[in-house]
Amino acid sequence: MRGATGAVARGLRAAAALALVLLLGACTLPPLEGRSVSQVLPASQARETALGRAVAPLREAHPGASGLHVLADPREAFAARVQLAHQAQRTLDVQYYIWRGDTTGTLLLEALRAAADRGVRVRLLLDDNGIAGLDEALAILDAHPQVEVRLFNPFLLRAFKPLGYVTDFGRANRRMHNKSFTADNAATVVGGRNVGDEYFGATDGVLFADLDLLAVGPAAEAVSDAFDAYWRSASAYPIDSLVARPDAQVVAQAQSRAALVDRSPAAAEYKEAVRRLPFVDQLVQGTLPLLWAPAKLLVDDPAKGLALAQPEELLLHHMGEAIGEPLRSLDLVSPYFVPTDQGTDYFVALAAQGVRVRILTNSMAATDVLAVHSGYARHRERLLRGGVTLFELKPDAGAPAQDGDKPRQGAGGLLGSSGSSLHAKTFGVDGARVFVGSFNFDPRSARLNTELGLIVDSPELARRLDALFATGVPAASWQVVRDPASGALRWVDAAVQPPAVLATEPATRWWQRA
């Protein structure tokens, strides 16, 4: 009897599961017909804004070049975004993979709302996988007459999005990883940071060491054009076609939550950072020091989000054209470094040709995605045997060492204040060119996610990356080497004297290594 009851229960569960799958399979995304049509602010009108007027004489003095300012410190990066929102007079075009509903995420949403209240047209394009718990807040923002919010590759079932992978895995597994914040088609911030406390140094949990560029001139206009392509793509759905407009009670509750965040001590610190670090004000006044150099935007065709882009339309293809073949050096920073067999062949072949190849990625203790580290670790031995230099960031880089040792020096410099996990994506070639953007050296960035970044012809930026590897990286990371006698992997900590040599993955538990 008990066995029969169990069989019936299993049958009912199987039938329920089948019914759910059939129900989900019957769901389809809403039609895109009827979407509003909008374009980037024309260059002639962009020149009439405060940002455009400030940039115009600088562009004339540096024909063909873009003006760049490195945003390495997390609070500087936050302040630059808020100040762009404050200075915008006509348009804000904002595109991100992750947007948290925490302190910094709420403050930036409020900055967009304040700009819209002044009459600025705000277009916000977010990947639907990275906005957990924000449906109400985004729907409320979208109800503003000057704001439109769209979601890239959205999930139909809002309450439990992972079910979308069951019914439409091929599409749902492709995400928009791009990151840009552009004001008046005149100034933009691009780089590795998403929007959330962990990216701006505002949490006691995992902090990310990251890198952005504030750019004006042709680079900003290219980012605007790319945003337009994504905005009108077949993957960008108006949020009001997916999420019901909240009623008055929900709006009131959301406003109360935002007010609490706005009055919090953490918010006060970030407001002070905005006042204390007036980058965009200085840009408008013509006093912000800018590095002027040719900069080319590399970006995937948005059709990649539906597996419809051709190989020649992908960022990886354009990257090969832009950087050429390294002749002397390649310095690579990638938090999620999974070279695959093909990539390992490439790096080893470069080293065999006499090219100095140095790579910084997360250690097992520092990574926030353990499975990614597993995908990288299997290639370490062959990379080292092939002459590649490997560094793995410490989780406590920049923090005082234990047992009375001298404080460790963080990576500093180009990656700003050290975090507990690396998130910057950059590389330098031959001391002449540097890439800054969202692209990780892993199969997901290459084949699935859409990505965006700038390749800059700048020996000055390349020198800064070289200096990072010469001094900051060895102090903030473990260098992975092979034992000359046994060939086994060893981790060298050069931040202590004499350097410590460890035989297992540092700062990890046996079960993590297993």
425 annotated active-site = yes
Half-sphere exposure of 235 (CA within 13 A, CB side): 27
In the chain, what's the furthest Cα-to-Cα distance?
A: 89
Mark 235-251 as b/e (b = at least 16 C-beta within 10 Å): bbbbbbebbeebeeeee
> Which residue of the set 73, 184, 212, 442 is catalytic?
184
Q: Could you tell me which of 328, 391, 402 has the C-alpha nearest to residue 362? A: 391
CA distance 396 to 476: 8
CA distance 43 to 250: 40
Residue 413 φ/ψ region, left for φ over 0, alpha for ψ in the -120 to 50 degree band, beta for the rest: left
> Which residue of the set 127, 142, 177, 301 is catalytic?
177
493 annotated active-site = no
Q: How would DSSP label each residue in 161-215?
A: TTHHHHH-HHHHT--B---EEEETTTEEEEES--BSGGGTT--SS--EE--EEEE
174, 164 Cβ separation under 8 angstroms: no
CA distance 288 to 68: 10
> Which residue of the set 69, 73, 142, 179 is catalytic?
179
> Which residue of the set 296, 304, 379, 423 is catalytic?
423
Query: Could you identify the residue written with the tokens 């042709």?
Result: 218
430 annotated active-site = yes
> Which residue of the set 304, 425, 442, 466 is catalytic?
425
CA distance 415 to 397: 12
Going through 317-474 in order, the beta strands assigned E by DSSP cover: 329-333, 356-362, 389-393, 421-422, 426-429, 433-437, 452-457
Half-sphere exposure of 475 (CA within 13 A, CB side): 18
Residue 126: its H or E element: strand 121-127
427, 360 Cβ separation under 8 angstroms: no
Tokens standing for residue 129: 């996988």
CA distance 147 to 130: 20
179 annotated active-site = yes
In the sheet that holds 236-238, the strands lie side by side as 236-238, 147-152, 121-127, 91-96, 180-183, 187-191, 212-216, 66-71, 291-293
Instruction: Give phi and psi for 463, each to the nearest 5.
Output: -65, -35
423 annotated active-site = yes
Active-site annotation, residues: 177, 179, 184, 423, 425, 430
